[in-house]
Amino acid sequence: MPERRLIVSGRYDRVKEVCDFVVRAAEEAGFDESEAFQCQLAVDEACANIIEHAYGGEDQGDIAVACEVSDGELRITLRDSGLPFDPQSVPDPPPITSLDDARIGGLGLAFMRKVMNSMSYSSDGDGNTLVLIKRKSTHET
């Protein structure tokens, strides 16, 4: 499958379009429904973080998405031109032992790390790049 690309404005109402784009790529590449859903959830969180943290709100820039499949893995690349924010610099939150200890927010990055096989971030003078990789749980031979 050749690399597929999509560019949307950084708006919350456009995140569903990005998620649908990623799910289609995962399904066309033979990922099962659960794996495609995990990709969707991770991308939803990543896009929300771009809009909220990199852009500081809606309509401040675009989100470029690319999906590429090779050797049983889906590589999802998200680019933005917002403020740099390295998700790898944020440690996983401590385990929640009771609902009283739970707080709103801060769990999205930990969740993304858990459902994806790999997550890497880079920033250059032109913006930020987040690469999410999901591998098929079983390879067909």
**d(Cα 29, Cα 22) in Å, to the nearest integer?**
11
pLDDT along the chain (141 residues), means of 10: 90 97 94 95 94 95 96 95 78 57 61 91 93 82 41
The rounded distance, in Å, linking the Cα atoms of 82 and 61 is: 7
Domain boundaries of the chain, sorted by first residue = 4-135
pLDDT of residue 125: 86
pTM of the model: 0.85
Contacts for 129 with CB less than 8 Å, ≥ 6 apart: 77, 78, 79, 121, 122, 123
Region 4-135: CATH code: 3.30.565.10
Rounded Cα–Cα distance for residues 82 and 5 (Å): 19
pLDDT of residue 8: 98
**Cβ atoms of residues 81 and 51 within 8 Å:** no
CA distance 136 to 36: 10
